[in-house]
Structure 1
Amino acid sequence: MPDLLIDPSPFQVVHLSPLSEVHFMFIMLRCSHLFVTRFGRLIGYIMLKDLMHNDQNTRHKIKTVDTQPALPK
């Protein structure tokens, strides 16, 4: 099966994106999760429900993809 080309840019944030930008994207796109990338590679995702807990450790709630290294703490 050939690789499918999908433009993920509206639904991705880089790993250093400010939480205010992440929140803005959730509101504007009306999505439940965003993909997190580092240097153009998928490293995980963050869900709106994690952001809504309004807690200082939201950045540590990013779910990482098994094949990629975890975000630095």
Structure 2
Amino acid sequence: MTHEIQILNHLKNGDSITVIEAGNLYHCHSLSGTISRLRQAGHNIADVWESNVLNKGRHKRYFLAGEFEA
């Protein structure tokens, strides 16, 4: 199963995902590229910036638009 299919199925289940989660769950280490390809295929994927819990910085959380409440 491709990363695009795995990530899309994850999002269709109503779940959101970060790069760390994608790596841990699906061994997907280029989530931004996967999301970009899914968007180009017509999927309405939104994102929000989140602060890192353990260190300074932030990361994006991706979700299907209209299906996730932060």
TM over 0.5: no
Judging by fraction of residues, say which structure has more helix: 2
Judging by fraction of residues, say which structure has more strand: 1
TM-score (norm 2): 0.32
TM-score (norm 1): 0.32
